[in-house]
Amino acid sequence: MTTLCEMILECRAIKGMDKLVLYGWAAQLAEGNDTLYASKETVAEFIGVSDDTVLRKTKALVKDGWLIDTGERKQWAFGWTPVRTINVPVIVELFEAQYRNLRPPAECTPPQNAAQGYRFRFPGSFDSPFSAPAVGEYKSSAPKAEDKSKEVGQTKNLELRTVEPKPTPTPHGQSKSCSDCGEPLQRDVNHFLVCKVAKGNSELDEYLGDMPPCPNLDGIGELMNFDKDDDYDGTPLFPFGQKPNGKKAEEAKQRVEAVGQKTEESIMEEGRTTPTATHAHNNVPPICTVCAKSPCRSLTSDYCIDCWNERQRTGVIPKFVDEIRPIGY
Amino acid sequence: MAKLTAQQLIAQLKRTQEDALTFKELWLGYFPPELTLPPDHEIKNAVRRLSLADLATGIESYVAKLSEKTHPPTSESAMKYVCATAWKILEKENPDQEFHPTARRQRNAERDPNSPQWDAEAFEDATPEERQRIIAETIAQQKATGAK
């Protein structure tokens, strides 16, 4: 069967008996030829219909444009036959268009039984060497075994890449999660209060206890409601990584009281009126304990920003204490 | 002929059309104007089966023969001569290839008693004496024309 015959049979634009008669005409041609001068009796005998059917349908094919009547006549020894040509460009265009409009299976969701050897097979297709309709080009997106082994062999030259895991989307559109414990954040719960990992890592917790972080300095003043006699000097009540619980908390409380008494005595000796740690809660302006010039709004230190930076540079104040510097510095 | 793809078929049809136009130009350039062009389908058949260079050689050889002819040539006879010349060139250039026998060779083979295609009915039930005479005449005619 020639290429032209296969295209005529596959072309869906040609319907019914027209397709059969056109196929009967095309079957009389050799490969690469489009000129017809066979007799209608030959075609009728080939496809098994009457001569009148071939004559009637041939006229319809010429009228529809599938066949082109050249007006010539082929002279035989016993008579003549009309010469027609098949409109091959139109048939090829329609034939290729009906495959081009189909979505290739590579873009489709692979079937569930793809791993069991299923391969996409075009319905009604045939083994033909067409290039453009790509009858043989529609293949499954799954790579072949040899391709896979080739890819595996090439991975030696590839550099390792660290793929950052994407956050798993949660229901109700909650896509944020805690950076410390990884638990998803909830809208109506302050996770900072309940996150044990974040509290254990934060140095601020050691100074602020279980209080939530305050957005401004005024709020800190309201929350840190020290008494006059507390004389809290900023030293942590609990060592890093420990929680204020039970016995240790009691010991720390006693230690703070002892330090406070000692500080009051030293203040009395130095002639100062109030301890500096209370400056945030009293009306007394904060004074730097080193230079006594710049007022210090720091919550936990008695130094102005210049003295703070100087002491941090010289190592008197460790670097990590920098986190507790007040907002605005 | 090997099976073509759709695009190859289109390309071949286009090439046949172009070769037919070239053949027409050669015909009109070599032959006198009274020797009209053969039908289009005959020209397309010729250029589809035979190479254009061989057909041009056949046209040139027929131009040389035109002066010898006493009666005016026809387009049909000219086309047959040109195609036969091109066909012989094709056979000579491809000695290992088997070609479909021409109608003339088939006819001669049926009349040749030494040929495997010998057909006794071709003599229309002639008597043995008549057969011997026909065979002798056929062989003499083939030798005179130089046909195989």
Tokens linked to A38: 């066979």
Q: Which chain A residues are within 8 Å of B16, Cβ to Cβ?
A: 32
Terminus-to-terminus CA distance in chain B, angstroms? Answer: 26
> ipTM more than 0.85?
no
Instruction: Provide the mean pLDDT of chain B.
Output: 86
Confidence of residue B12 (pLDDT cuts 50, 70, 90): very high
Separation CA A180–CA A194 (nearest Å): 12
Q: In this structure, are residues A80 and A73 in contact, taking their beta carbons and an 8 Å threshold?
A: yes
Q: Which of A63, A64, A65, A66 is nearest to A24 (CA)?
A: A66
Q: Kindly report, residue by residue over B70-83, the tens digit of the pLDDT.
A: 788 899 999 999 99
- The tokens describing A112, both together, are 């569930």
DSSP A69: E
Average pLDDT over residues B116-121: 72
Residue contact B41–A83, C-beta within 8 A: yes
Q: Closest partner residue to B41 among A7, A74, A96, by Cβ?
A: A74
The pLDDT tens digits for A130-174 are 444 443 343 333 334 344 444 444 444 445 555 555 555 545 554
Question: Is the Cβ–Cβ distance between B3 and A30 less than 8 Å?
Answer: no
- Successive 10-residue mean pLDDT values, chain A, 329 residues: 92 92 94 92 94 96 95 89 95 88 63 55 46 40 40 46 55 63 73 67 50 48 51 54 53 62 54 46 61 57 73 68 48
Helix (H, G, I), strand (E, B) or coil at A67: strand
Half-sphere exposure of residue A32: CA atoms within 13 angstroms, side-chain side: 17
**Which helix H or strand E contains B19, and what residues bound it?**
helix B6-30
Contacts of B1 in chain A (CB under 8 A): 30-32
Contact A133 B6 (CB under 8 A): yes
Q: Which residue has the higher pLDDT, A201 or B22?
A: B22
CA distance A37 to B104: 22
3-class DSSP assignment, residue A131: coil
- Res A140: pLDDT: 39
pLDDT above 90 for B62:
yes
Q: What does the alpha-carbon distance between residue A299 and residue A289 come to, in Å, rounded to a whole number?
A: 14
More confident residue, A173 or B93: B93
Q: Return the exposure string of B71-94: e unless at least 16 CB atoms fall within 10 Å of the residue's CB, then b.
A: eebebeebbebbbebbbebeeeee
Distance CA A63, CA A21 (A): 14
Q: What is the pLDDT of residues A80-122, one digit of tens each?
A: 999 999 999 999 999 988 887 775 656 566 666 655 554 544 4
Q: How far is A54 from chain B (nearest CA, A)?
A: 22
For residue B41, give the nearest of A3, A72, A88 by CB distance.
Answer: A72
